Structure 1
Amino acid sequence: MCGIIGYVGTENAVQKLVTGLEALEYRGYDSAGVAFFENEQLKTVKCRGRIEALRNLLGCELNNAEIYCGIGHTRWATHGEPSDRNSHPHGTENVSIVHNGIIENYVEIKKFLQEKGYIFESETDTETAAKLIDFFYKDNPVDAIREAQKMLRGSFAICAVFKNENNKLFAFRKDNPIIVAPTDAGNFVVSEISAVIKYTKRFRRLEKGEIAVITNDNITILDPDNEPTEISYETVDWDAEAAEKGGFPHFMLKEIYEEPDVVKRTVSENLSNYIPDLSSSGLSDEMLRKAGRIHIVACGTAMHAGLVGKIAIEKLGRVPVSVVLASEFRYQNPILDENDIVIVISQSGETADTLAALRLAKERGIFTLGIVNVMGSAIAREADGVLYTLAGPEIAVASTKAYVVQLAVLYVLALKIGLVREKLSEKDVQAYTRELLEAVPEGISRILKRKEEIREVAKKYKDNKSIFFIGRGMDYAICCEAALKMKEISYIHCESYAAGELKHGTISLVTDGVPVFAFATDHDIIEKTLSNIKETAARGARILIFCGENNPVPENAAEDIIELPQLSELFMPTVTATAAQLLAYYTSVELELDVDKPRNLAKSVTVE
């Protein structure tokens, strides 16, 4: 959610801070700000709105080569409305901080500080944390942070600067991620490595209870006993070019175009002679044989991938699967048996609700498997096993390639379960994996070649106020994701329904001219779906059908038909998803909206 950057070094700090914040824009934000030392004085510049507005406010400081240390922040409002005064950094004459997360007991702390004479200028929980650190600050920043940590409750990551330590950064966290990254011209503190990938590929994630003390030529990490720890750096396997548009008008379109390659890369990484090989995941054959139930826990797009995964695992492996929203999982007192497996899915590996669900499962002694895109993320570190979606950095807020690769990983897992539990022969599995490795990427590529056709369809429906998405089985699972993608970036009200549920209330909303987008790729139940389509057409709905090339959909069944490359029904969600993503993308483009950074949304949701 919020983006954090700190820099101390030998080069212009303000320019590096603002450039880093621009690299973090995709996380979502409503305001931005920086604090830095100029002539040994702590100066803060911040505003509501885009980073461009911050650049305009900074003016000559952007080129001041004498400013070597500072912190920056992009805010996504949680406590207090988006405004100049609620923007970060927050602080006092002595200390300034930037913060990502939530201080749960800030009201209690604020009252305590007000009784001590502190006056508050904003509505934020962040200002409370800053002034609490100031209250404990005498002459040692680390001591002040330690005392503040004892009182702060919640999930947070904080980077701070102190007036009397104007060439140092201090960073600490509880649950929310923050990293340190060394370079030849100074050192950084950042929310994630993408902010500084143009300068370095090396980083170290801070752990709970650690405090990082950073100067221009040194990084010291103190353990909870204030003893220095040995620092071992991780290295990312992608570069700045991967985090740039590469000639595409938007990151989202670029990432859709990367889907064939990332599917092939991820699937091949988990195969040996076309047989699923998950030995590196920590998931044993014995666990899969004994599993009584699999619980898939995720949020948003990742949860929709889980809906497809459920059908695939139950069909191929004959294991019962439940799919639960991570935000609900903990509060349902879930029934978990010792041989169950909990699978958590998260692109970032830092999603707060999903991470909390993982921890609950671990507390119950249940084996947990993470499916994540970011190596070394919290879920990757804490899960008992992990399968990586090798999608590379995904910058657009609306997930595309990560979703399709999550499907691919779940398919490989389903095939492995079917093989281990003797529901599938090796020959069957190899036939499926060949299709997944070869035909699926080719099918996605064929959809991409028809982008202009899909754009013309988008033009026809872009001005509607509401769209209904319907389907059955896996088609319904894809409906959920297609509706989310459309509403995320077009701001059109969209709802997904199982086609058979229309007559149980929803059809009362289908009136003359209302678009109904129907997904009908499953040959076994297509007649049922066509029957539901006719029901909506009889009430004046405008029909768009997504179907396979070999499916018997009459030409007069819809106003528009998007025929998809024919794959086995198991894998049709992959090409259907790509087509739906392109439709949402071009709808947003035709509406002249901000495709990559839709309003009110954050890429990485690190608060509950």
Structure 2
Amino acid sequence: MCGIVGILGQKPVAPLLVDALKRLEYRGYDSAGIATVQDGKLVRRRAKGKLRNLEAVLEDNPLGGMSGIGHTRWATHGAPTVENAHPHASDGVMVVHNGIIENFLELREEVRSAGVKLSTETDSEVVAHLISLEVKSGKAPQDAVAAVLGRLKGAFSLAILFADQDDLMIGARRGSPLAVGYGEGEMFLGSDAIALSPFTDRISYLEEGDWVVLARAGAQIFDENNTAVERLVQTSSVSSTMMDKGNYRHFMAKEIHEQPEVLGHAISQYLKFNEGKVALPEGNDFDFSKINRLVISACGTAYYAGLTAKYWFEKYARLPVDIDIASEFRYREMPLGEGDLALFISQSGETADTLASLRYCKEQGMTIGAVVNVPESTIARESDLVFPIFAGPEIGVASTKAFTCQLAVLASLAVLAGRQRGNLSEEQEKELVGALSELPAHAMQALKLEPEIEKLAPWMSKKHHALFLGRGTSFPLALEGALKLKELSYIHAEGYAAGELKHGPIALIDENMPVLVVAPFDGVYEKTVSNMQEVAARGGEIALFTDEKGAEAAGVAADQMIILPELPEIVAPLIYALPLQMLSYHTAVFMGTDVDQPRNLAKSVTVE
């Protein structure tokens, strides 16, 4: 995740911007830059690599001005170069941007037709040009921004400066967080409270779709309908060494809602949006056509991500996959092929059983790949290939955003394998990349279901047991949904492949047994419906997670129903994970359990 900071200050802001960006380094980045209003003109300094490089640029070429914005960038559209680094400039406008502008190709052609010469490969630059064109047409800066925001598709947060406007800064968020800091005759913007902690502890978090006009005297906030609104100003206790829950009651809730942003960041590291191709991060070249088998091992939620990936690799790449729980894998002396690939999935990169399995595979001469959230972890260091998931710090013990980012990376790898092995055409790869590029938007749509899902919490909290059913890639989701409910609410729950219902679990069905069915309208939907009918015939309560077509074709009156958008098949597991997370979260909150730190559990299991 990249970082944003903005300051309307009382003294030169360049050093303050750099210091604030240092507190956002944990998000990861490959270039950085700042811009200020200096003598009425917009001036910027940028550098590739770490912040020390930007500091060196500033030492050689200092920057004045008491109003400024800063940014640390992870390359998405375009390589990590000085030219592609933020802030991005147009006539009289400077912009920093987190996220992905999904319709940037269309907007780029529009600004080109208006005579604008583009100077970067990024999607972000087009925002600056659009605003500049609106200002040139006669609009005031505030009206220009309002006109442009309504035309942007995707997930983003923005901070915007204008020439000759020393006392004006505009920020906006959709799917990517942004906080407003209130000082004494000063105002601030930041990706989170950590960046702003040295300046103020009075923080207001913009809500989804909000945008804000800052002056040193205060802030005026507008919602997505351009209606003036008030947002709570709260006292933050965050320091540069602490994570902050923001407006959320729990870290888990915050991390659930961060998924549009982190999914966008994850896929941007593996997908070339302009070309419709998958490309591995630098230094991880690998040819899936050279192997005969893929081995995957992990624990807990990461294992379910791997189990989902098995479906993808076998379908899209026709690559045989063996997968096992790491604690079993390490002891069963599995025969392995020298030179084949073994993937190990771990949020922390320190999971003891997974690390032991990795070392066993390494001894057998396999190529080792790590799908991790911490690139400096032991598992990453001992691997030949490292595939970061870019989820950012995950504080809640129950994995949410790390799980979906693992899925996003694994889906990208499966598509790459399919192309390299000749099972996918160039056109099919482009179609799948297009589907994955829409993940942030689909995630935002799923999060809008939260009020409906929260209403299920009292019903779920009265149960002592639950069954989760799914077929295909919905089977691992059933396992994950059951795990989340167990972890958070301490309600006993089990996940099953729907076809296994009649082979034992159906004996449990009665009027007291809720059955939660994960069933997008896909090629196996009719088979899943037959299992629902078996449940209904025995008086079981059904909660169905499906889409509009699935709801119409169900033929069974579900007691509870959550309708998700219609989704491409490769995307469905990632998006259906969100309502299952929210159901477990709200059930646990209703029951009063410790959501962020459930009893007996640890975030990273570093012992056997």
Aligned to 1:274: 276
Change (3 A) 1:279 1:514: closer
1-side partners of 2:556 and 2:454: how far apart? 21
Equivalent position amino acid for 2:502 in 1: K
1-side partners of 2:459 and 2:540: how far apart? 14
**Partner secondary structure for residue 570 of structure 1:** coil
Aligned to 2:376: 376
1:530 pairs with 2:532: no
Aligned to 2:590: 590
**Partner secondary structure for residue 570 of structure 2:** helix
**Partner secondary structure for residue 455 of structure 2:** helix
Provide, for residues 370-399 of structure 1, a one-character-per-residue CA deviation record: whole Å limited to 9, x for no partner.
Answer: 000012000110011110010100000000
Aligned to 1:475: 474
Equivalent position amino acid for 1:443 in 2: H
1-side partners of 2:388 and 2:270: how far apart? 10
1-side partners of 2:382 and 2:589: how far apart? 39
Change (3 A) 1:277 1:324: same
Equivalent position amino acid for 1:430 in 2: K
1-side partners of 2:577 and 2:281: how far apart? 29
CA contact (8 A) 2:375 2:386 kept: no
2-side partners of 1:242 and 1:414: how far apart? 36
Equivalent position amino acid for 2:255 in 1: E
2-side partners of 1:240 and 1:316: how far apart? 44
1:366 pairs with 2:366: yes
CA contact (8 A) 1:516 1:542 kept: yes
Aligned to 1:246: 246
1:568 pairs with 2:568: yes
**Partner secondary structure for residue 594 of structure 1:** coil
Task: Write out aligned runs for 1:54-203 (5 A).
Answer: none
Equivalent position amino acid for 1:429 in 2: E
Aligned to 1:47: none
Provide, for residues 93-112 of structure 1, a one-character-per-residue CA deviation record: whole Å limited to 9, x for no partner.
Answer: xxxxxxxxxxxxxxxxxxxx
1:465 pairs with 2:464: yes
2-side partners of 1:279 and 1:269: how far apart? 6
Change (3 A) 1:598 1:401: same
Change (3 A) 1:242 1:568: farther
Change (3 A) 1:239 1:391: farther
Task: Write out aligned runs for 1:166-565 (5 A).
Answer: 240=240, 243-272=243-272, 273-278=275-280, 280-285=282-287, 288-438=288-438, 440-551=439-550, 552-554=552-554, 556-565=556-565
Q: Which has the higher contact order (CA 8 A, sep 6+)?
A: 1
Change (3 A) 1:484 1:603: same
Q: 1:280 deviation in Å?
A: 2.3
2-side partners of 1:514 and 1:451: how far apart? 24
Q: 1:462 deviation in Å?
A: 1.1
CA contact (8 A) 1:534 1:557 kept: no
2-side partners of 1:403 and 1:599: how far apart? 21
Please, what is the CA RMSD of the aligned residues? Answer: 2.0
**Partner secondary structure for residue 566 of structure 1:** coil
Structure 1: give runs of 5+ residues left out of the alignment.
1-194, 200-237
CA contact (8 A) 2:521 2:549 kept: no
Change (3 A) 1:390 1:239: farther
CA contact (8 A) 1:266 1:390 kept: yes
2-side partners of 1:325 and 1:256: how far apart? 25
Provide, for residues 287-319 of structure 1, a one-character-per-residue CA deviation record: whole Å limited to 9, x for no partner.
Answer: x11211101100000000001100011110000
Aligned to 1:9: none
CA contact (8 A) 2:453 2:582 kept: yes
Q: 1:548 deviation in Å?
A: 2.1
1-side partners of 2:291 and 2:521: how far apart? 29
Provide, for residues 270-293 of structure 1, a one-character-per-residue CA deviation record: whole Å limited to 9, x for no partner.
Answer: 1233311115253422xx112111
* More helix, by proportion: 1
Give the structure-2-normalised TM-score. 0.59
Q: 1:569 deviation in Å?
A: 1.6
CA contact (8 A) 2:269 2:281 kept: no
Q: 1:436 deviation in Å?
A: 0.9
CA contact (8 A) 1:263 1:437 kept: no
2-side partners of 1:436 and 1:570: how far apart? 8
Equivalent position amino acid for 1:433 in 2: V
Provide, for residues 518-567 of structure 1, a one-character-per-residue CA deviation record: whole Å limited to 9, x for no partner.
Answer: 11115211111111111111111110011123324337431011111111
Equivalent position amino acid for 1:509 in 2: L
Change (3 A) 1:512 1:362: same
Structure 2: give runs of 5+ residues left out of the alignment.
1-193, 199-237
**Partner secondary structure for residue 393 of structure 1:** coil
2-side partners of 1:281 and 1:573: how far apart? 29
CA contact (8 A) 2:297 2:303 kept: yes
Equivalent position amino acid for 1:557 in 2: A
Equivalent position amino acid for 1:464 in 2: K
2-side partners of 1:198 and 1:351: how far apart? 33
Change (3 A) 1:261 1:378: same
CA contact (8 A) 1:547 1:553 kept: no
Change (3 A) 1:263 1:239: farther
2-side partners of 1:198 and 1:301: how far apart? 34
The ranges of structure 1 where at least 4 consecutive aligned residues each deviate by more than 3 angstroms after the TM superposition are: 238-242, 552-556
Q: 1:198 deviation in Å?
A: 8.8
Q: Between Structure 1 and Structure 2, how many residues are aligned?
A: 372
Equivalent position amino acid for 2:357 in 1: A
**Partner secondary structure for residue 296 of structure 2:** strand
Change (3 A) 1:419 1:242: farther
Provide, for residues 561-584 of structure 1, a one-character-per-residue CA deviation record: whole Å limited to 9, x for no partner.
Answer: 111111112211111100100000
